[in-house]
Amino acid sequence: MSEESNIDIYRRRFMSGTATAAAGLAVAPGVMLTEVARAKPADQAVSSDIRWGMLIDTNKCNEGCNDCVTACNEEHNLEGFGRPATDAQWIRKVTLKDKQTGNIQTLPMLCQHCEHPPCVDVCPTGASFKREDGIVLVDKHICIGCRYCMMACPYKARSFVHEKLQDQMPYSPRGKGTVESCTFCVHRVDEDILPACVVACKEENHNAITFGDMNDPDSEISQQLKQHSSRQVRADLELNTGVRYRGI
Amino acid sequence: MIKYSLITLLFSLLLGVYTPGTAADVASGEDTSGPFIPKAQRRFSEEQGCVEPTGEMRANHMEYILDQRDATVHEGIRTRQYSLQECINCHVSDAEDAPRVDNEEHFCSSCHTYAAVSIDCFQCHADRPVKSRFDSLSNSSMHRIGSAAVPPTTLDSEQLKVLSNEDFGNE
């Protein structure tokens, strides 16, 4: 079955699940407009009814594939200055090798968008914050560049901009002297579009990354989390991360 | 809170420096001694050129942008009327050789240079319109959140009956 018709089936199934049989048929077109195309109105604030999350299936993540990283760098215009130690990196590929068996796994590591983010705890100015819908961001207007958050993050997810930048993307302002990290492509998510890395992975037909609302029991991510075992990286820290991994 | 009042205080100071210039401009009508301000690329609406009357924008544009900034960053409110991105889209040409913010002919710089008020918006923000890469994606259902392909085997017979009704093909 083609991609397109699967989507239609999903939508119809969702609709039929929410409406009662007869009445549902009568109001179905209206219901679909409001329920499925659920991008929030532009003038409405985000709410905690939603918690955005990501599930990464490491079994589908190919060694040597860097598409998610490339897509992120392109989307946010993260150019390098030939200094790998300090160049901005919002998502990176990590390789795990089992020394005993020689088994190699790779996975993308990015901001885990924790429910209890240590970066927010330590920020002295309130620049590091968590949006109502669970996305952890830096308000660069307030950031003073102290980099406490970079120290606090157990995932090494944040970067500091050391250089004067030019030609930033309009939806992704970045500047010297501030800390930055993965935004879950918040400019896309607010428009109901998947983050750049997820799209890149989908387009290559790897489908290793699932993105969605973890608060919605019917969302694909919730269904997958329910059906399969998954792990949080450093679950012992009890940060309740928004990024989960399968197969590690 | 102290932070915000400081910012407000700063802006009101800037306003103090800035207002006499504009007041003189308005009073003398076509004052050639003022800065050359490039024309906007388009109008906001039939009735008015900018999102607020010109005088109001000249005096208070920073207040509008500041309010919008916090709403957008923290609450995800992305209305376009007072967004800095839309200011740039209207007021700055998207031509390859259009003046950048370090050039006095850039819309923002023209006045800010004249009034000797430095701005740091464009250390981070784009100073000219850039076509968003994800614009073209918004119509593609593959890139929409929730466009998950659910295996059809999980559907029961009643749902399949609903599916056969082609009236539901359109969103």
Domain A52-246 has CATH 3.30.70.20: yes
Angle at the Cα of A155 (from A151 to A158), degrees rounded to 5?
Answer: 60
Mean pLDDT of the B111-137 span: 85
pLDDT (average), residues B79-98: 92
- The pLDDT tens digits for B3-13 are 666 565 555 55
| Predicted local distance difference test score (pLDDT) of residue B161 | 45
**Structural contact between residues B22 and B94, judged by C-beta atoms closer than 8 angstroms:** no
Q: Are A32 and A16 in contact (CB under 8 A)?
A: no
pLDDT at A51: 97
Locate all alpha helices (DSSP H) within chain B, ordered by sequence: 2-28, 54-75, 84-91, 107-115, 157-163
- If you average pLDDT over residues B102-121, what whole number do you get? 93
Distance from CA of A175 to the nearest CA of B (A): 4
- Which of A4, A15, A16 should we substitute to test contact with B (largest number of B Cβ atoms within 10 Å)? A16
For residue A10, the chain B residues in CB contact (below 8 A) are 146-150
Work out the average pLDDT over B40-57: 89
Q: How far is A204 from chain B (nearest CA, A)?
A: 13
3-class DSSP state for residue B75? helix
User: What pTM was estimated for this model as a whole?
Assistant: 0.76
- Position B143 scores a pLDDT of 84
Three-class DSSP category at B147: coil
Residue with tokens 């998950």: B148
The residues, ordered by sequence, that sit 6+ positions from B15 with a Cβ below 8 Å of its Cβ are B59, B60, B62
| B161 in reach of chain A (CB within 8 A) | no
| Closest by CA position to A73, among listed A140, A191, A159, A176 | A159
Tell me the C-alpha distance between A2 and A78, whole Å.
35
In this predicted structure, what is the pLDDT of residue B8?
58
> Given pLDDT bands bounded at 50, 70 and 90, which one contains residue B142?
confident
pLDDT of residue A34: 38
Residue B167, min C-alpha distance to chain A (Å): 9
Contact B146 A165 (CB under 8 A): no
Give every residue of chain A whose pLDDT is below 50, as ranges. 1, 19-37
- Mutation target to probe the A interface, by most A beta carbons within 10 A, among B147, B157, B171 is B147
B75 phi, psi to nearest 5 deg: -115, -5
Given pLDDT bands bounded at 50, 70 and 90, which one contains residue B61? Answer: very high
Residue A38: per-residue pLDDT: 59
Q: Is the reported ipTM for this assembly greater than 0.95?
A: no
The token pair at A102 is 């020689």
Q: Cα–Cα distance between B167 and B162 in angstroms, integer?
A: 10
Highest mean pLDDT pick, A223-227, B38-42, B164-168: A223-227
Considering only residues 71 to 100 of chain B, which have any Cβ-Cβ distance to chain A shorter than 8 Å? 71, 73-80, 85, 88
From A25, A142, A175, residue closest to B123, measured CB to CB: A175
Q: Is the pLDDT of residue B79 over 50?
A: yes
Is the pLDDT confidence value at B59 over 90? Answer: yes
Q: In what order do the strands lie in the sheet with A243-246?
A: A209-213, A52-57, A243-246
Per-residue confidence band for B70, with pLDDT thresholds at 50, 70 and 90: very high
pLDDT band of residue B90 (cuts 50, 70, 90) is very high
d(CA B164, CA B168): 9
- AA letter at B55: G
Round the average pLDDT of chain B to a whole number and report it: 75
Interhelix angle B2-28/B54-75, rounded to 10 degrees, is 160
Retrieve residue B139's tokens: 């119509």
Angle between the N-to-C axes of helices A196-203 and A67-75, in degrees from 0 to 180, rounded to the nearest 10: 140
The Cα B156–Cα B119 span in angstroms is 62
**Is the CB of A173 less than 8 angstroms away from the CB of B126?**
yes
Residue from A86, A47, A107, A72 nearest A184 by CA: A72
Closest in B126, B143, B163 to A193, CB measured: B143
**Per-domain residue ranges of chain A:** 3-35, 52-246
d(CA A220, CA A165): 38
CA-nearest of A90, A182, A170, A177 to A142 is A177
Dmax over CA atoms of chain B, in Å, equals 79
Task: Say yes or no for a CB contact (<8 Å) between A16 and B162.
Answer: yes
Enumerate residues 6+ apart whose C-beta is below 8 A from A71. A196, A197, A199, A200
| Residue A154: per-residue pLDDT | 97
Q: What confidence score (pLDDT) does residue A12 get?
A: 59
The number of C-alpha atoms within 13 Å of B13 and in the hemisphere containing its C-beta is 9
Nearest to A170 among B130, B138, B168 (CB): B130
Chain A residues within 8 A of B92 when measuring between CB atoms: none
